[in-house]
Structure 1
Amino acid sequence: MTSYTTTITEARELFRAAYENRYTWDRNFPGFTADVTYQRKDKIFTAQVRVNQNLSAEVLNVDDIEIKKELYHQLWEIAIHRIRRAFEDTHGQNTFTYGETDNTGAVELLVGGKSEGDSYKVRNNEVCYVRRHIHSVVVTINTFSSHDTGEGYLSHRYDSVYHDSKTGELKGGTNDFEDNYEKVGKYYILTSRIIQTKEQGQITTEAFNFSKIKLLSV
């Protein structure tokens, strides 16, 4: 019979393998510049953006403060998910135990320790479900498809939902994403992101398209 300790170790290693299978930029990533077109409803905005080697971001040539903030937020989202962090640095204070396996073969992993109450699902060596407590909200993300870069996977179609961590009340709407990437030099960089937000029976679509992507010189 498999011991409890062995089972915990197996669950941890299953999650570690999927975590380390994510596509990330290495330490030599130089940053990039790009033109961006942002479409929201019937309005179109253009700007230039820059992500620096230290992953700080700049939005240039747009006057609208709200639009500038939204573009900056997207750059932050792009960069934060490409940072390479060691598994032990991120999850060293967490424990993992098996939950249920659903009809798609996704294995639930329940988190204890520092991030107790969080949970993930892993299928085909990819994290396909995330439930995390972030301050006063719980974010739930389902990933439906991914890009295989040969150097790790990138999420393609996924959704996100936020609930109040105490009351369970839905905060905002349901967001459906579609991300596409292009290899520039040796690095995959986001070229388009479409977000559909469903809230109170209304659907709002936003589209971000990045073009003329150039890596910065080191």
Structure 2
Amino acid sequence: MTVSASAPVTPGSDCRDSFRRAYENRYTWAPGFGGYRGRCIWEQGDRREEGTFQVGADLKASVEGIDDAEVLKAMNSQLWEVAIHRVRRSFEQTHGENTFIAGDTDSVGTEIIVGGKGEGDRYRIKDDVVTMVHRHIHGTVVTIYTTDVTDTGAGYLSHTYTSQYADPATGDARGGRNSFRDTFAPLPGDGPWVLSERVVTTEAHGHTPAGSQTFRFENLEAL
């Protein structure tokens, strides 16, 4: 499913309902998620690490069989990040204290200017998909652009996207821009959709060279 064009809305108008539709169109795990497990593989150039993992009903990940501390940390981080974004929280729980005003509309989508508790944050939406996220998180700003999504039939998952961290005061980049390509698949027996592969390509920044790494998750099964 590729993000396509939609009619613009009037700048300055309240767009809470439009943003709510995009928010509720994201794919999340249904209540009662019981966890899953499988094999995990990390590759970067000629390097390869392989182990097993489990994500529990509490969304906590555990990885075994990987001795490299840096790879182990990265694998745990990917599993945690995927799980935390699948948690189903109502729109009011997440955004009840925010206001949403429409800005301009461009090829990415209609700008959503956030006020209230989340003041300073911005989004763009197109065809009930959040195509851009600009959020202040723990003293930094992250900007994410989504260009392609996977339609699960029960909401969308971001398939191709970029993320960039920056200093909130100066706008200076913190690290190189990351490009992601995610592949998802449902667990056997019409189970929840989970990540089966993530390819992360990082641009060079300062003294840090460009690089690419692949995370693969195989033999997946529900707990």
Q: Normalising by the residue count of structure 1, what TM-score does the alignment of the two structures yield? A: 0.92
Mapped partners of 1:103, 1:182: distance in 2: 29
CA distances 1:21-44 after superposition (whole Å, capped 9, x unpaired)? 000001121100010110123210
Mapped partners of 1:204, 1:65: distance in 2: 19
Mapped partners of 2:201, 2:45: distance in 1: 11
**Partner in structure 2 of residue 134 of structure 1:** 137
Give the C-alpha shift of residue 103 in structure 1.
Answer: 3.3
Give the C-alpha shift of residue 54 in structure 1.
Answer: 1.3
**Partner in structure 1 of residue 23 of structure 2:** 19
- Asked if structure 2 preserves the Cα contact closer than 8 Å seen for 1:107 and 1:121, the reply is yes
SS in 1 for 2:13: helix
**Partner in structure 2 of residue 188 of structure 1:** 193
**Partner in structure 1 of residue 211 of structure 2:** 204
- Residue 7 (str. 1) matches residue 7 (str. 2): no
Moved over 2 A (4+): 200-203
Map 1:7-86 → 2, pairs under 5 A: 7-8=13-14, 11-86=15-90
SS in 2 for 1:19: helix
Mapped partners of 2:132, 2:148: distance in 1: 11
- Asked if structure 2 preserves the Cα contact closer than 8 Å seen for 1:99 and 1:109, the reply is yes
Give the C-alpha shift of residue 203 in structure 1.
Answer: 2.4
Mapped partners of 1:64, 1:176: distance in 2: 24
Question: Please, which runs of 5 or more residues in structure 2 have no aligned partner?
Answer: 1-9
- Asked if structure 2 preserves the Cα contact closer than 8 Å seen for 1:136 and 1:166, the reply is no
CA distances 1:141-177 after superposition (whole Å, capped 9, x unpaired)? 0000000111000000000001011121110000000
Mapped partners of 1:189, 1:200: distance in 2: 31
Give the C-alpha shift of residue 62 in structure 1.
Answer: 1.6
Mapped partners of 2:107, 2:215: distance in 1: 34
Question: Please, which runs of 5 or more residues in structure 1 have no aligned partner?
Answer: none
How many residue pairs are counted as aligned between the two chains?
209
Matched AA of 2:120: G
% of aligned pairs identical? 43
